[in-house]
Amino acid sequence: MMALFVRDVRLGLRAGGGALVAVLFFLAVIAIVPFAVGPDLKLLARIGGAMLWIGALLASLLGLDRLFQADRDDGSLDLLIMADRHLLPVTVLVKCLAHWFVSVLPLVLAAPLLGLFMNMEPKAIGATTLTLLVGTPAITFIGAVGAAVAVALPRGGLLVSIIILPLTIPVLIFGVSAAYGAMDASAAFLPPFLILAAITLFFAVLGPIASAAALRGSAD
Amino acid sequence: MNSAASRSGRWVDIANPTRFLDLAGRLLPWLAGLSTLALVAGLWMSFQAPDDYQQGSTVKIMFIHVPFAWLSMMCYTIMTLAALGTLVWRHPLADVSAKAAAPIGAVFTALALITGSLWGKPMWGTWWVWDARLTSVFVLFLMYLGIIALNRAMDDAAKAARATAIITLVGFINIPIIKFSVDWWNTLHQPASVLRAGGSTIDGSMLRPLLVMALGFTLLFFTLHVMAMRNEIWRRRITAMRRIAARGAERGRAE
């Protein structure tokens, strides 16, 4: 399993800088926000946490269709499915973690810098980054289901996004409300944050199991 | 034979598409007639029902809005059961049922959203609010559309069925969220008032037409569902026949 993790991380880092593109996309989305809502610093500070979340969500959807597709193209996906039939969910979990480590963690690391662009306070930046760190794995796990279902499709990328965006709404809701909880004295930080952590753990179980079932169905 | 065995025997019987078509042909006139009867009676009863002392005659929107909303959830539940049927028992009709139910469910969800919006404008003063119930039903609508899109995107019916079944099962998380959203969060939408512990809070003069309308729309749903399943089976037969014909033509040319 560790070998698989290292292999996936290496492939992800080598294969044409997909992570860098995601970070650039994140940067572009955040840079567009002030053009759309106007350069009012107070307003930007207020909506900053939500904008960071939306940007990170969209950017993390970008590379999802490659999660299984690259392995399917070179045939190693069939080997993985055949190798350990009973542990396939664990294999998927490891692949998800590797994908998160390579493509999504850079987004989380870039979030504080983009938070400065949005004129957010240090405390709010810290809270938003923390919620992103805890919440984005859930997006990857949900996305794995969509990626596994659409793995046989030639242009599945857009379809994956359409299918999984409705399912990521709870993550977005609790992530943003925890980020606001840290900014605003009247709102609480801990309850939404704990629910966010629970959602991540829940999808860490459900996502790999469902995508393993889908992968088995798509193998031919 | 005990009852459980005979029941499972019946399910296996229906698995034969010809028997199902037979049964559907016999059932459909009854279903259609009963649903027409119930809908006409329900409509007449809802126009007889008294106006609300606060809402006036707009309360009549309830008689269609509430059945649409119930059916949007029931349809997804049926699709989930069908998805289980596809994945666990490999029932050949389960996937036909799920595929046929999705567009009907999407339409009922859209109607629930539209009628709710029309009701919300005079009552709440706005077409739309982002409260928990409305948002979760909207998410349900998006999921219906996603499932339909996914199913249409794959050529191979068996593979499309498995993929759709998995997405349907994962999406079922949303149904309890819709049902209990009005209890868990403080929403503008009113809490459950018909199916609740301690009896209904709606007066009998309004509850009776509502239940008749709900029955009528449920029957209508099953009529449409059986018709759509029959269409789907016919469509697949035609595809299979075309393939056989094409193969025969090719063989004829080769000889």
Above 80 in pLDDT, residue B24?
yes
CA B185, CA B248: separation in Å to the nearest integer? 63
DSSP A1: -
What is the per-residue DSSP string for A80-105?
A: HHHHTSTTHHHHHHHHHHHHIIIIIH
- Asked if A145 contacts B163 with a C-beta cutoff of 8 angstroms, the reply is no
Residue B2 pLDDT? 44
Asked if B135 lies within 8 A of A167 by C-beta distance, the reply is no
Which pLDDT score is estimated for B11?
Answer: 65
pLDDT higher than 60, residue B46: yes
A137-169 core/surface letters (b: 16 or more CB in 10 A; e: else)? bbbbbbbbbbbbbbbbbeebbebbbbbbbbbbb
| Distance from the first to the final alpha carbon of chain B | 54
State whether residue B34 sits within 8 Å of chain A by CB.
Answer: no
pTM: 0.80
Q: What is the mean pLDDT of residues B29-56?
A: 85
The predicted structure's pLDDT at residue B71: 92
Residues on chain A touching B143 (C-beta within 8 angstroms): 166-167
3-state SS class at A22: helix
Q: Nearest Cβ partner of B166 from A156, A165, A214? A: A214
Answer whether B209's CB lies under 8 Å from B46's CB: yes
Longest CA–CA span in chain A (Å) reads 56
pLDDT at site B82: 92
The residues in B 169-208 lying below 8 A from A, measured between CB atoms, are 169-171, 173-174, 177
Asked if B151 reaches chain A (Cβ–Cβ under 8 Å), the answer is: no
Determine whether the interchain pair B153/A153 forms a contact, defined as Cβ–Cβ distance below 8 Å.
Answer: yes
Per-residue pLDDT of chain A (220 residues; tens, 9 = 90+): 777 778 777 777 776 556 778 888 899 988 888 888 887 888 888 888 888 999 999 888 887 877 887 778 777 777 777 776 668 888 889 889 988 888 888 889 888 888 888 888 888 888 889 999 999 999 999 999 888 888 877 777 788 888 888 888 888 888 888 888 877 767 778 888 898 999 999 999 999 988 888 888 776 5
Residue B5 pLDDT > 60: no
Q: Of A55, A207, A220, nearest to A146 (Cα)?
A: A207
CA distance B32 to chain A (A): 34
- Nearest residue on chain B to A202, judged by CA atoms? B173
Q: Search chain A and give the residue with CA nearest B171.
A: A167
Q: Which residues of A touch B150 (CB under 8 A)?
A: 149-150, 159, 163
Asked if residue B1 has pLDDT above 60, the reply is no
How many CB pairs (< 8 A) connect A and B? Answer: 62
Q: Which long-range contacts (CB under 8 A, 24 or more apart) does B46-54 make?
A: B46/B209, B46/B210, B46/B213, B48/B209, B49/B205, B49/B206, B49/B209, B50/B205, B50/B206
* Rounded mean pLDDT, B2-10: 51
- DSSP string computed for chain B: --HHHHHHHHHHHHTSHHHHHHHHHHHHHHHHHHHHHHHHHHHHHHHHSPPBTTTBGGGGGHHHHHHHHHHHHHHHHHHHHHHHIIIII--HHHHHHHHHHHHHHHHHHHHHHHHHHHHHHHHHSSS----HHHHHHHHHHHHHHHHHHHHHH-S-HHHHHHHHHHHHHHHTTHHHHHHHHHHHS--SSPPP-SS-TT--SS-HHHHHHHHHHHHHHHHHHHHHHHHHHHHHHHHHHHHHHHHHHHHHHHHHHH-
Instruction: Specify the pLDDT at position B80.
Output: 93
Residue type, B99: K
| Residue B135 forms contact with A (CB below 8 Å) | yes
Work out the pLDDT band at B3, boundaries 50, 70, 90: very low
Do the Cβ atoms of B149 and A145 come within 8 Å?
no
Question: Is the minimum CB–CB distance between B87 and chain A shorter than 8 Å?
Answer: yes
Q: Which helix (H) or strand (E) holds A181?
A: helix A157-183
pLDDT for B12: 66
Is the ipTM reported for this complex over the cut 0.90?
no
The answer on pLDDT for B4 being more than 50 is no
B84 touches chain A (CB under 8 A): no
* Nearest by Cα to A99 from A147, A49, A161, A35: A147
Taking only Cα atoms into account, the Rg of chain A, rounded to an integer number of angstroms, comes to: 18
What DSSP string runs through B121-151?
HHHHSSS----HHHHHHHHHHHHHHHHHHHH
Distance from CA of A129 to the nearest CA of B (A): 26
pLDDT score at A197: 93
Neighbours of B254 (CB within 10 A): 6
- Reduced to 3 states, what is the DSSP secondary structure of residue A117? helix
Name the β-bridge partners of B52: B56
Report the residue from B135, B146, B163 with minimal CB separation from A214.
B163
pLDDT in tens, B175-200: 888 887 777 776 677 776 666 655 66
